[in-house]
Structure 1
Amino acid sequence: MEIGQRIRELRGKKGMSLTELATRAGVAKSYISSVERGIQLNPSIQFLTKVSNVLNVNVETLINGTSDKDESQLDAEWVELAKEAAHSGVSKEQFKQFLEFQKWQRTNQ
């Protein structure tokens, strides 16, 4: 999938019009349109940065289709907490049980 197709897809998922994306990113609507339609094939990193910030994805997501800013990505603190739990002997099963208990507590309060 090309960069323009990814931008159009992500914009659609957010329910955002071309005009809204252009306004929020501070770029020309016509330029976004030309990127989405595959006319402009090499958008600048500045353009990609502005658009990715509005779409709440990493530039890499637009370029390669990989994501590191979405909800499946963990920040460094979560990774460290998981490592600490594993090193202290907490099993995956114990951790899953803890999470299920937390969910149960929230729904039964």
Structure 2
Amino acid sequence: MIGERIRSLRKERNLSLSELAERADIAKSYLSAIERNIQHNPSIQVIEKLANVFEIPIQYLLPPEDVADTSLELDPEWLQLAKEAADSGISKEEFSQFLEYQKWRKQQSK
């Protein structure tokens, strides 16, 4: 679904695959895989980059709520922690980097 939306938007705007990949700063091969639904779960960072190029809200590229996987409901405490992080001025990128660092630390301690 995401791939179909991206391809449709790209064609509406008369962009080649190469042009869109360059503007979004993602690999052309990765973008191609997304559009062909080979890579059907791109990262939120990639989706955000594409939404920025298209100048649309990120939600437009995400699956509709009724189609999204609702089996993974977030614990209210996790939601509160994310809200507190955002309210304190921590950017999504900083939070993502922190998580990557924690994963790395955990892996190093094994």
Give, in angstroms, the shift of residue 33 of structure 1. 0.2
Structure exhibiting the larger radius of gyration computed from Cα positions: 1
The structural deviation recorded for 1:37 is: 0.1
- Once superposed, what is the RMSD of the aligned Cα atoms? 1.5
TM-score (norm 1): 0.57
SS in 2 for 1:64: coil
TM superposition score normalised by structure 2: 0.56
2:20 maps to 1:21: yes
* Superposition misfits of 4+ residues, deviation over 2 angstroms: none
Whole-Å Cα distance in 1 between the matches of residues 31 and 51 of structure 2?
12
Q: Count matched residues.
A: 65
2:32 corresponds in structure 1 to 33
* C-alpha distance in structure 2 between counterparts of 1:58 and 1:29, whole Å: 22
Could you tell me which amino acid in structure 2 is paired with residue 20 of structure 1?
E
Amino acid of the structure 2 residue aligned with 1:25: A
Q: Structure 2: how far apart are the matches of 1:35 and 1:58?
A: 18
Q: Which runs of 5+ in 2 are unaligned?
A: 65-110
Match of 1:3? 2
Distance 1:59 1:6 in 2: 12
Compute the displacement of 1:64 (Å). Answer: 3.1
CA distance in 1, matches of 2:24, 2:53: 6
